[in-house]
Copies of this chain bind each other. A is one copy, B any other.
Amino acid sequence: MSVRAGVIVTGTEVLSGRIIDRNGGWVAGRLRELGVDVGHVTVCGDRPDDLVAQLRFLVAEGVDLIVTTGGLGPTADDLTVATVAGFCGRPVAVDPALEADITGILRRWRRLDDDAPLPDSLAAAIGKQSVVPAGATPVAPTGTAPGMAIPAADGLPAMLILPGPPRELQAMWPAALAAEPIAAALADRDEVTHASIRAYGLTEAELAETLRRAEHDVDEFSRLEITTCMRDGEVEIDTRFPTAAAAAYTELKALLRRAHGRQLFAPDGETLDELLAAALDGRTIATAESCTGGMVAARLTDRAGSSSYLLGGIVSYANSVKTGVLGVPGALIDELGAVSEPVAGAMADGACRVTGADVAVATSGIAGPGGAVPGKPVGTVCFGLAVAGRPTRTVTRVFPGDRAMVRTLATTYALHLVLDALR
């Protein structure tokens, strides 16, 4: 049996492009991992009629579950619960237990005592967020807004109403799946497996050629649903298959390793950040950044527990900081320019010396849009890598794209440089 679902993302700020939607794809992706077939994600603004039109569309498409995101806030333009309830012909009423929960949450957030009077605006907001459609199961709030799970009935599919802030939505997901109306709607799904491989330094064209070969060489290749995706210079190869077709995936993976072994840095989908933390293996690291301006350090510190290996970094944007803090010889900068391998190498050495780290990586480049000089176009980035007990290495790359892309690609490259050296 195949279970089908559709996702509706609500919010004028998403529809108008002022906010990039991070919910539609996330929800669709999680459903697909569960073996649910998702054919449509739709986005509408805050007009109830547009939401109703999209609900009607998905119902006509015959889906078993509709997930909505957003429109659960306290303001007048947040209308999802009322609109979906109306569409389902379910009256709404304030749920006193839910109201008490939300009041408690808001008192804690605002540090109000239990007996302090609530401001009127807050009381109104709580009342609005405590409303539940008849027959629906509320899902406990992870911010202030609860989710709602509405059972399939009267020819309508099950509906799951989730909040808009991605963190709240993602935190609520496990409880939402466990809510009885949703568990019932998903009960008959196929069992599928997902697997990822990450590669660096591989073009999509090279990969496409290997996959064409795999089509002939791998038994039951057609049961593998493969999607490839280029992100920040890495290629992610995602495969979804009926769990019964695991042997075909094993064959594909072996074929990819034979063809691109060196580039497949994460054959089981591990992230660069995880692998780097493991490869450091007790050593400490520091950064010296010019064009990436702190992005390498910020990425390293994204990971909880990074304080056990990241000592710190120097953002040496101005040359005076390169010389004054990192000890890069001024003559080197005068002679070769700040964007040069010797300067990047001296920056890495300086970061080790100044912080006492075992490993340091440095970036110095031209992120653009200005700053290009003859022989050094926008996108040119020099890297330095210092590892205690080894000679300092340097390398230059020219990255495509605009300022943001050059900085992002340079950040990823810097981390791959470290991973490669430590493995």
Residues in chain B near residue A296, CB distance under 8 A = 294
Q: Name the residue in A30, A284, A304 with the highest tally of chain B Cβ atoms < 10 Å from its Cβ.
A: A304
In the complex formed, the residue of B with least CB distance to A296 is B294
Q: In the complex, how many angstroms separate the beta carbon of A229 from the nearest chain B beta carbon?
A: 4
Provide the A21-47 mask, 1 if CB < 8 A to any CB of B, else 0.
110111111101000001111111111
Residues in chain B near residue A207, CB distance under 8 A = 75
With A20-B22, A43-B40, A315-B313 as given contacts, are A13 and B227 in contact (CB-CB < 8 Å)? Answer: yes
Candidates B125, B284, B294, B401; contact of A205 at CB < 8 Å? B125
B311 touches A320 (CB 8 A): yes
With A205-B122, A317-B307 as given contacts, are A20 and B15 in contact (CB-CB < 8 Å)? Answer: no
A41 touches B38 (CB 8 A): no
- Interface residue stretch chosen among A50-58, A151-159, A182-190, A412-420: A50-58
Indicate whether A107 reaches chain B with its CB closer than 8 angstroms: no
B39 touches A40 (CB 8 A): no
Q: List 25 A-B contacts (CB under 8 A).
A: A15-B28, A17-B25, A17-B29, A18-B25, A19-B231, A21-B24, A77-B228, A122-B205, A125-B208, A292-B298, A292-B301, A293-B300, A293-B302, A293-B306, A294-B294, A294-B313, A294-B315, A301-B317, A306-B317, A310-B317, A310-B318, A312-B314, A312-B325, A320-B356, A321-B355
Further pairs besides A15-B38, A325-B355: 5, Cβ < 8 Å: A16-B32, A74-B204, A294-B295, A312-B317, A312-B321
